[in-house]
Each structure stands twice: as structure tokens, then as C-alpha cells.
Chains A and B, each alone.
Chain A
């Protein structure tokens, strides 16, 4: 049993602020919690106005509950929260405070009281001002937004750790799109982080069997040293991709010297991530794309990248991005160029990027890849589906190549019918597909460790 099991795998849950209707926040959560009952999870709704809620016994106060619970969820106005935590002493090991109106609203005093009450009561705290936990492994869902408003992703290997609820909804939205192949394992929105923060959750995710990769949105960390320690420990076990917001912050406040004036807090954050080889996402799109790539492939060591395209411009854009990402766009070995010149029409461009032109046939991709599979660590495949020579058969060929070689690959194609089916085939084979050459290259950066 791990320290945060009561939070992520509770066997009994108290819901303070439960409601009788799905129109209210406390009703949305209750409805979702009750789905856990067939699995043996006990649910104790608390609401002074009802004796039964949604068909189960309800309690007037926390004090009436005779049993102990792993987890308590509190959805009551901020000023009531300290009193509720007081009553939960000895009754719950962990509490999610959903309510807002604390540090984020200028009420640091109230947050401190909540923090202190929880600590004295031996209760680990998530929040306040948070949505809590979604765990696809056991169906736990403490989110106050109904599925109609916030689609939940299908089960998968990506854990989501976020300080912001807005970013959480963006991520869930991206994961839940019709074409999406990304699923989630554990999602935690920890809000004001009065107690449990990203570092605690990182530690838990290290051993979570369902989690294959972790993405994280951070605005600030309380203890940078601890954050780095836990992030490194997690990254040794599975890929971790971090998006840091608040990049514009100026130099540090108490700056007497030149050094102090130059040290923006984001610059330092970024430098420290890079010092310890931790992966950073440039923006939200990069985070979502990286999640997709990491959910499909495991990162490996390497930096030599080959670009294979049937459109010159797309290849150049990919090449530019490769330079920006620090990839080594190694030249094709001489004797292989000679061979390509023998077997291909004279207007094919056997270099890196390799342009198969609009005259391309599906099998040309495979010919080139087979020849060069040992010379590169990663492959950017661009197949613009507007040309006649690109058919759905290409998907099967590339998928088969991927299966045989296991080489990191990313894919860019058009959005027409052929392109969409190609993308589906590729992602089913573990090759992430993207709408632009640059996004494909950036995603490949997450899969190749320098």
C-alpha cells in the first residue's frame, strides 16, 4: 500500500456537499462515485437536508458516519472547509478540497487554516480550488464537470498532472477528439497545492503500472529542489514532459547585481530542466503532440534524423525544424546515393531530405527506408496525399516497417480522405501523425534522447 493509494484507489469515500441532482456540482460527483459501488467501494454522501440521495443513505453531518474512509471530497463554501476538516479528523486519510476562495482569491489566511487543520488531523490534502482525481484504471472520477461539458478520455497510458483546471480541460478535449489515439491513466488537478503537489504525484506515478508516460502543466513550484529530485526519479522510470507557464516573468525581485537582474524565474526553470535532461514542451500544442508521441512510442537514445518526403517544401520545413530542435540531419552514405541513382528516376532527389516528388509510388518509401534503416535513429515520413501515387496501401507498408525495425517514426500527411485513413493506420501501428511537418519533427524530439 502506497501513501497516496487512498487518493487514487480509495475503497471508501465521504462526499461533503453531495446533492440529489446532476445539475449541481455535488450531484455530478455523487453520480460518478456511485458507479464505483458495484466494485465494492463504499460511498458516504453528506447533506443535512436529505436522508437518501440518488438511492443511497445520506448523512446529515460527517459526525454521523460510523466508519473511516480513505478519501473525503469537500464541495462546500470556503469558510466552512476548516470546520469540515476538523470533523474529518480520524475519519479520512485524504481530502480533496474542490472549493475555491482561498489563496487564489487573496484568502491566504483561510488556506493556511485549512492547511494547518489538515496537517494536525493527519489528513493529506489535495487543493483547494481543484477538481481532484480521474483514474481510468478503477473509474474514480471526482471532477465537478459533467461528461457532457468535459469529455473524459478513454483508458490509456498517459498520466496528466496539472496545476490548472483550464489546461486540464484543454488536454481532455484534445485526447477525446474523434481521431485521437491517446488515452489517459491517472489525471490529477491539484490547484493551490496547499499540501499535495506535483512532486507527491510524480512519486506515486513512478510505480503506477498503467502509466507509460506523464505530462505535466506547471505554473510554479514551491520547492524547486524537491521538484527536480522527484521529476528525475520519475523520468528514470518513464518519459515525463513538462509545460511551464509564466515565461515572461522579469528578473528576480531582490536583484542587487547584474546576475540577479538577468535571472528571470522562467529562464532558471528552463535551464534547470535542461541541466538534468528533463523534457520540456514549448507550448500547449507541443505538450499534446508530445503526449501522443510518447503514448505510442518509447524514447530511445539517438540524434540522427532522416526526412523522407514527396513534397520539396514540406521537406524543407521539416529540415528547418530539425535544425531548430538540434537534430543531426546526417547525409546519406555515398555508396547508397549511387544505388538510389541507379534504381530511381533521375528527378528524384536522393539526399536528406529525400524528395520522392509527385511522381512517387508507395513502394518507393519502403525501398528508401529499407536501405537506410541502419543509418539513422529516427525518421520523419511525409506523404502528401494529394498526389496519385500515394494510396492507402502505403499505410500498411510503413506500419510493417515500423513493426519490424521499431525505429522512432513520425508521420505527416494531408487531411483528405486518403490522408485521414493513412493517419489512422499509422497511429494504430504506433506512429503518431501530425497536420504539419514541423509538429511532426517536434514530436520526434520527444522520442529521441540526445
Chain B
């Protein structure tokens, strides 16, 4: 618990309480969660295709002010060539006001998108949330909650309370997702919100597959 609190404190101190996605992901990686392989290119630096990353790529404008990347048109997905990459990078830096740089990541496709989050409830204090991601969460509000911190065993129970749980267990011949990795991600989020240092945390989406649980986007609000 203390390790998590210390690492979070460090992140908040280094970023003045407004961490950007790649900084949050750096912390999550330290805490044992899976994040896509990626590179952060600070604004002003010459743009070139990051070495060691495999196409297809995702490119996102990084700014602590952006709340929704799709609303701010601050991301480009499925980039398959160097030319596409350079074009997208140039556009993002030009169009997104206040962009501090670009986060370039390998794409993780084919997983089931879920959302793992934490917030402070007016009556219960720190609460953990889990649900299926994408527009399902918007339309059906198929989410479940538990008091934080939430143990790994409780995290699995939390996930099993959503209506769409069978999707995670595997339908139509699909294999089940990696429940251990999923529970670890939920548990970590719950311990982060339980520190009381932050108001909200949002891992959305987390890509769930038999190979693991990869955090594709992450936000923290202090």
C-alpha cells in the first residue's frame, strides 16, 4: 500500500498535480500493470518515426488540459506507414492547442474494452468502478461499484456483477480474458483512489484479452 502511495505522490509532485497520460502510464507500469509500448516526443523536438515500435501505431497529442481525446480530436489510430505517421503527428501538433508533445504507442486491437476507475463518493469515500467500455458503458451504464481499496478477490466479484460479465468469460467461441490481470488492474486503481491523494482516476479503456489487461488510456484528477 505504501509503495503505491509513495509512487503516486512522486508522480503528483513531479507533474504539479496535473500528470499527462504518458506520466500516469509510467507509474502504472512501475506498479505492475501492462501499458502499450510507446515513446513520448516532447513538442519542439524534431518528429521522426520512433524506433523499436511496430505498426500499426496510435498517436495522441499530450496535454494536461484535455479531458476527452476523441472530443478534442487529439488522437489518430491505426497508423500503418511512416508517411501516415508524419502527417498525423504534424496535424496533431498544429491543431491541438497547448499540446506538450506526442505519445506514440503500438496499437492493441481485438481485446474487449473495459473501464476501471475510482472516485470519491460523497457518502462512502473512495469507491472502485468497473464496466465494459466503449459506448456500451454510455448507453447501458452496465457498471458495478465496490468500496476501495478492493482486494484482488473482491475485484473479480466486482467484475462479475456487471450484466455483460459473460462477454469476459468468452462467448461465441472466444476464450475468456485474463481475469488475473484484470483483477490486478482493478485492485491497483482501487488502491490509488484509496490513498485519498486524488479525486478521480480513470483507466479507460483497458483492453482485456487472454494475454492480459493493457491500459490504453489513463487519466487522473486531483
Contacts and interface: CB of A to CB of B under 8 A. Distances in A.
A255 interface: yes
A263 B221 contact: no
Interface in B175-211: 199-202, 204
Interface stretch (B34-42, B55-63, B111-119): B111-119
A258 B125 contact: no
Contacts of A272: 124, 127, 145-147
Given A260-B200, A262-B141, A263-B129, A255 B119 contact: yes
B123 interface: yes
Interface of A: 220-225, 227-228, 252-260, 262-263, 265, 267-269, 271-272, 274-275
B161 interface: yes
B1 interface: no
Contacts of B202: 257-259
Pairs of residues from A and B, 9 with the lowest C-beta to C-beta distance, nearest first: A259-B117, A224-B124, A271-B145, A257-B202, A224-B123, A256-B221, A257-B200, A260-B119, A268-B145
A220 B117 CA distance: 24
A225 B145 CA distance: 14
Dominant SS among interface residues on chain B = strand
Contacts of A254: 199
Nearest to B217: A258
Interface range on chain B: under 10, 10 to 19, 20 to 34, or 35 or more?
20 to 34
Given A259-B117, A262-B129, A268 B124 contact: yes
A225 B125 contact: yes
B137 A265 contact: no
B82 interface: no
A225 B201 CA distance: 21
Contacts of A260: 117, 119, 199-200
B14 interface: no
12 contacts: A222-B123, A224-B123, A224-B125, A259-B115, A259-B200, A259-B201, A260-B199, A263-B145, A267-B141, A271-B161, A275-B145, A275-B147
Among A222, A254, A258, A268, which residue has the most Cβ atoms of chain B within 10 A?
A258
Contacts of A258: 115, 117, 137, 202, 204
B125 A275 contact: no
B143 A262 contact: yes
A262 B131 contact: yes
A282 B67 CA distance: 36
A326 B115 CA distance: 26
Contacts of B122: 252-253, 265
B121 A263 contact: yes
A86 B219 CA distance: 51
B121 A259 contact: no
Contacts of A228: 124, 147
Contacts of A269: 123-124
A260 B123 CA distance: 14
Given A257-B202, A259-B202, A271 B146 contact: yes
A255 B199 CA distance: 9
Given A268-B124, A275-B158, 13 more contacts: A252-B122, A255-B200, A256-B67, A256-B199, A256-B200, A257-B119, A260-B119, A262-B131, A262-B143, A263-B127, A265-B123, A269-B124, A272-B145
B199 to A, nearest CB: 7
Contact of B219 (A227, A257, A267, A275): A257
Contacts of A267: 141, 143, 145
Contacts of A255: 119, 200
Contact of B124 (A225, A257, A262): A225
